Amino acid sequence: MTQTPPVTPPKREITTKPRFSDKVFRGVVTGGGLSSLIILGLILGFLLYEGYGTFKSQGFHFITSSNWNAVVDANGLFNAKASTFGIAAMLIGTLVVAVIAVIVGVPISVGAALYLTFYAPQFIRKFMVTAIDLMAAFPSVLFGLWGFFVLESSGEYWAKLLNKYLGWIPIFKLPTPYVQHSPFIAGLVLAIMIIPIVTSVSREVFSQTPLDRIQAAYALGATRWAMIRAVAFPYARSGIVGGVMLGLGRAMGETVAVYTVLNIVYQVNWHILFSAGGNIASMILLKFGEASPQEIKALMAAGLVLFLMTLLVNSAANYIVNRSKSGR
Amino acid sequence: MSTNTLTPAAPAPAKPTKPWEASISDRIKTAAIFLGSALFTVGLVAVTPLKGKLAYAIVFFIAFVVIDYIYNVVKGGRAAGADSLFRGFVTAAVCLAITPIVSILLTVWVRGHKGVHWTLFTKDMHSNAFQDPANQGGLLHAIIGTFLLVLFAMIISVPIGVLTAIYITEIKGRFTRPIQFLVQAMSGVPSIVAGLFILASIVYPLTKTLNGFEGSLALAILMIPTVARTSQEVLLLIPQDLREAGVALGGTQWRTVIMIVLPAARSGLITAMILGVARVAGETAPILLLAGGNNSVNWNMFHGPMGSLPNYIWQSFGTGTPDSVTRAWAGLLVLLAIVLILFGLARTLGNRKVGK
């Protein structure tokens, strides 16, 4: 009996080279992943393409002048020479309402986040976090109608009080006593709309305060306020700044709520209690209905300006938030 | 001889003390301060010309903070006083944050429930004007329209969003950080810009007319970041062991992802989808620019304008008569109910353990 020599199986190839199926998979997933880049690029490209003519004919005046005149001559043709498009008034209006929103909304949001992180008992925290998250899902038209029918009446009263007692400050002056549908009220509605996002970002950064430092502060005899001032605030500062800028970005891009609440008048208005204002987004919606094709091109240009503004603010905000989350 | 006498009685276990908890006398003192400032408020508002709910709230808040401050300063010094002041501030802040939510929910219910009736869900508006009494006509067309718009937006955005999340969590390639950054940037794109983009890229150069599908495209742009970010968070929660087990069993990467990671994350992915839907269901600005308004039921996404709930609300509100405004609130009630149900669903699914 002869012994057959043991058959050694052929050596398996050991490789880190992905198989064909994996290559396809990675290709598909990478393609899907890059879609956000593609979409953002396309938005930029198409708005630039549509708005380019306006930028070219108006030049720098597009963002420095506040005349919006689409001139149509006797034959019903669009007169490109005589027409002027400038969005300065709406640009300033956008900033005014967004800044009011931030000034009113941020102390409330940060205070609420502090309460929910360091003060609230478990059941209250759970309930309130759910409620505030829920508010983030409310449609903006709901905020608009609520502001129009409910907040407006209280808001007018507060505006009159502000004007009566703080009227000597220039921004609270009233050229004529009309306080209905003012930027002040639009700012209040936007403040309410940004509360959820600013609160949740601040809550996230506060809850990451290192526990050992909190305990150390308490062990040294700090009261809760002293602990927050010495430990939580310095730790969370940059994260909160990022959250505030995210809120600012949201407030700048809001359309329907501002359109509903605000009396849109095409003029530069620094008197926040006076019944005139607007922002770029709501102006686009207002003018879009009866705009001629050439005017729509100008609106596209305005949309591009808005897009770039919000993109800039949001990117800066995300950069700050991400850095404060991963760093330290 | 009983065993009782042999074993010495165990000393009663000492009750754990919780020195940080408020004792009964502390609670009584807090209640007394509360009552005292309430009495003071009622008295002050009655005597002085201050009027209204707001006066009560403000005077009460100031009175409470001041009395609490004095009490704490007397009892524990300046530091305790500052602490009580700050507690007053954060409590006021959280009350101010909650008040609008309560007010909005109450308003929608109080103003909207009058306009809700059964024909709302069985009729459309093709034979009624918005000024008609609120019990005529209905919003069937709007509900169907919103359903179709959101469905198509979902079909487009969910694959893209989930693929983005898979890229970030599974492939972790060169573009991970830029993509994460871009997705966050995309979540800040104003809704009207999404509408303008579809107008500039599809309507003017190609179709020249408005239809529902264009509205869905704009909604999809707004939905992708929500889906991507929520899915990403869910996929990050899947234990690394599962992936390693998949690879150890000889699976290629795509089989591991498709057959192990995604099924494990199923409920979380559904949550991401629902949150995305809730985000866009009430989106108004792009709908106004793109889908147009339609007063009768339209099942064809690719032809003719498409009605929707936001559009119905917008038109009713714009008409401005008492009846049409009631219509708008009824529409809002229906829309809000849909959003609330979706939100509740997402919460229940999201609270389940990952992997179930």
Here the CATH number for the domain that contains residue B158 is: 1.10.3720.10
Residue B320 neighbours by CB distance under 10 Å: 11
What pLDDT digit, counting tens, does each position of A294-321 carry?
888 889 999 999 999 999 999 999 888 8
Check whether residue A117 and residue A28 sit in a common domain: no
pLDDT confidence of residue B2: 47
* Nearest by Cα to A97 from A242, A199, A247, A241: A247
Residue pair B132/B319 in contact (Cβ under 8 Å)? The answer is: no
Contact B335 A139 (CB under 8 A): yes
Contact A255 B104 (CB under 8 A): no
Q: Nearest CB to B175: which of A34, A228, A252?
A: A34
Q: Nearest CB to A225: which of B86, B183, B310?
A: B86
pLDDT confidence of residue B262: 92
**Chain B contact probe: residue of A110, A255, A300 with most B CBs at under 10 A:** A255
CA dihedral B245, B247, B248, B249 (to 10 degrees): 90
Contact B103 A150 (CB under 8 A): yes
What tokens does B39 get? Answer: 């009495």
Q: What angle do CA A137, A140, A144 make, to 5 degrees?
A: 135
* Whole-number average pLDDT of chain A: 88
Q: What total of structural domains would you count in chain B?
A: 2
- Contacting residues for B342 by C-beta, under 8 A, at least 6 apart: A137, B274, B275, B277, B278, B281
Residue pair A280/A91 in contact (Cβ under 8 Å)? The answer is: yes
What pLDDT digit, counting tens, does each position of A155-168 carry?
888 888 888 888 88
Contact A108 B96 (CB under 8 A): yes
- A233 within some domain: yes
- B233 within some domain: yes
Check whether residue B102 and residue B163 sit in a common domain: no
Check whether residue A304 and residue A264 sit in a common domain: yes
Find, in chain B, the residue whose alpha carbon is nearest to that of A317: B185
**Chain A contact probe: residue of B51, B75, B89, B192 with most A CBs at under 10 A:** B192
What tokens does B292 get? Answer: 């147009």
Check whether residue A237 and residue A192 sit in a common domain: yes
What tokens does A159 get? Answer: 């505006």
Q: Is the pLDDT of residue B11 over 70?
A: no
Taking contacts as CB-CB distances below 8 angstroms, the residues of chain A near B185 are 40, 311, 314-315, 318
Q: Which residues sit opposite A277 in a β-bridge?
A: A264
Residue pair B224/B164 in contact (Cβ under 8 Å)? The answer is: yes
Is the CA virtual torsion A311, A317, A322, A328 positive or negative? positive
Query: What is the phi/psi pair of residue A274, to 5°?
Result: -85, 145
Confidence of residue B10 (pLDDT cuts 50, 70, 90): low
Q: Nearest CB to B93: which of A18, A28, A111?
A: A111
Give how far A1 is from chain B: nearest CA, Å: 40
pLDDT confidence of residue A146: 94
| Strand locations in chain A (E) | 68-69, 84-85
Check whether residue A206 and residue A313 sit in a common domain: yes
pLDDT above 90 as % of chain B: 34
Q: Which residues sit opposite A286 in a β-bridge?
A: none
Check whether residue B186 and residue B106 sit in a common domain: no
From B96, B113, B130, the end of a domain falls on B113
Confidence of residue B8 (pLDDT cuts 50, 70, 90): low
Higher pLDDT, A139 or A71: A139
Find, in chain B, the residue whose alpha carbon is nearest to that of A304: B193
Mean pLDDT, rounded, for A122-146: 91
Check whether residue B304 and residue B186 sit in a common domain: yes
Q: Which residues sit opposite A72 in a β-bridge?
A: A78
- B12 within some domain: no
- A228 within some domain: yes
From A11, A36, A69, the end of a domain falls on A69
Mean pLDDT, rounded, for B141-157: 92
* Nearest by Cα to B355 from B258, B183, B237: B237
What three-state secondary structure class fits A85?
A: strand
- B285 within some domain: yes
Give how far B344 is from chain A: nearest CA, Å: 9
Check whether residue A40 and residue A111 sit in a common domain: no
Check whether residue B144 and residue B44 sit in a common domain: no
Taking contacts as CB-CB distances below 8 angstroms, the residues of chain B near A109 are 93, 97
- Contacting residues for A254 by C-beta, under 8 A, at least 6 apart: A140, A190, A193, A279, A281, B190
Distance CA B250, CA A26 (A): 18
| Residue B258 vs residues A31, B290, B354: alpha-carbon distances, Å | 17, 36, 16
Q: DSSP readout, B12-50? A: PPPPPP-TTSPPHHHHHHHHHHHHHHHHHHHHHHHHSS-
Higher pLDDT, B340 or B46: B340
Residue pair B50/B62 in contact (Cβ under 8 Å)? The answer is: no
Domain that holds residue A40: 22-69
- B289 within some domain: yes
Confidence of residue A75 (pLDDT cuts 50, 70, 90): confident
Check whether residue B101 and residue B181 sit in a common domain: no
Check whether residue B191 and residue B147 sit in a common domain: yes
Q: What total of structural domains would you count in chain A?
A: 2
- B118 within some domain: no
What tokens does A88 get? Answer: 């300065």
Distance CA A73, CA A120 (A): 66
Residue pair B254/A22 in contact (Cβ under 8 Å)? The answer is: yes
Contact A111 B285 (CB under 8 A): no
Check whether residue A115 and residue A227 sit in a common domain: yes
Q: Is the pLDDT of residue B242 over 70?
A: yes
Check whether residue A264 and residue A135 sit in a common domain: yes
Taking contacts as CB-CB distances below 8 angstroms, the residues of chain A near B340 are 134
- Burial (CB < 10 A; 0-12, 13-18, 19+), residue A253, is buried
pLDDT confidence of residue B1: 44
- B38 within some domain: yes
- B313 within some domain: yes
Check whether residue B102 and residue B148 sit in a common domain: no
CB-facing half-sphere around the CA of A179: CA atoms within 13 A: 21
Domain that holds residue B194: 140-351
Confidence of residue A64 (pLDDT cuts 50, 70, 90): confident
Check whether residue B179 and residue B280 sit in a common domain: yes
pLDDT confidence of residue A161: 84
Residue pair B120/B138 in contact (Cβ under 8 Å)? The answer is: yes
pLDDT confidence of residue A167: 83
Residue pair A265/A176 in contact (Cβ under 8 Å)? The answer is: no
How many residues in total does chain A contain?
Answer: 328
Q: Nearest CB to B190: which of A21, A143, A253?
A: A253
| Residue B273 vs residues A32, A33, A70, B146, B280: alpha-carbon distances, Å | 16, 17, 43, 16, 11
Contact B254 A30 (CB under 8 A): no
Amino acid in position B262: L
Residue A91 neighbours by CB distance under 10 Å: 23
Check whether residue B213 and residue B175 sit in a common domain: yes
Q: DSSP readout, A86-113? A: --HHHHHHHHHHHHHHHHHHHHHHHHHH
Q: Which of residues 9-38 of A touch B (CB under 8 A)?
A: 18-19, 21-22, 24-26, 28-37
Cβ contacts from A onto B, under 8 A: 266
- A81 within some domain: no
Contact A246 B188 (CB under 8 A): yes
What pLDDT digit, counting tens, does each position of B19-68 carry?
667 778 778 888 888 888 888 878 877 777 766 777 778 888 888 888 88
What three-state secondary structure class fits A69?
A: strand
Find, in chain B, the residue whose alpha carbon is nearest to that of A225: B83
Measured between CB atoms, does A163 come within 8 Å of chain B?
A: no
Taking contacts as CB-CB distances below 8 angstroms, the residues of chain A near B94 are 111-112, 115-116, 120, 128
ipTM of the complex: 0.87
Amino acid in position B181: F
pLDDT confidence of residue A326: 60
Check whether residue B103 and residue B182 sit in a common domain: no
Q: DSSP readout, B40-94? A: HHHHHHHHSS--HHHHHHHHHHHHHHHHHHHHHHHHHHHHHHHHHHHHHHHHHHH
Tell me, letter by letter, the H, E, C secondary structure of A244-299: HHHHHHHHHHCCHHHHHHCCECCCCCCCCCCCCECCHHHHHHHHHCCCCHHHHHHH
Q: Nearest CB to B284: which of A18, A40, A256?
A: A256
- B127 within some domain: no
Q: DSSP readout, B120-158? A: GGT--STT--TTS-TTSS--HHHHHHHHHHHHHHHHHHH
Q: Nearest CB to B188: which of A29, A249, A303?
A: A249
Residue pair A183/A101 in contact (Cβ under 8 Å)? The answer is: no
Q: Which residues sit opposite A85 in a β-bridge?
A: A68
* Nearest by Cα to A102 from A268, A287, A242: A242
Check whether residue A61 and residue A149 sit in a common domain: no
Contact A112 B97 (CB under 8 A): yes
**Chain A contact probe: residue of B109, B180, B196, B236 with most A CBs at under 10 A:** B196
From A69, A103, A130, the end of a domain falls on A69
Contact A32 B278 (CB under 8 A): no
Check whether residue B144 and residue B100 sit in a common domain: no
Q: Nearest CB to B282: which of A142, A149, A255?
A: A142
Check whether residue A149 and residue A37 sit in a common domain: no
CA dihedral B188, B192, B194, B197 (to 10 degrees): -130
Check whether residue B307 and residue B169 sit in a common domain: yes
Q: Nearest CB to A25: which of B96, B184, B253?
A: B253
pLDDT confidence of residue B356: 44
Mean pLDDT, rounded, for A52-64: 84
Measured between CB atoms, does A195 come within 8 Å of chain B?
A: yes
What tokens does A51 get? Answer: 């708005």
Taking contacts as CB-CB distances below 8 angstroms, the residues of chain B near A50 are 200, 204
Taking contacts as CB-CB distances below 8 angstroms, the residues of chain A near B187 are 314
* Whole-number average pLDDT of chain B: 86
Check whether residue A62 and residue A96 sit in a common domain: no
- A77 within some domain: no
Taking contacts as CB-CB distances below 8 angstroms, the residues of chain A near B255 are 21
Range in B86-90, B103-107, B171-175, B329-333 with the lowest mean pLDDT: B171-175
**Chain A contact probe: residue of B91, B198, B284, B338 with most A CBs at under 10 A:** B284
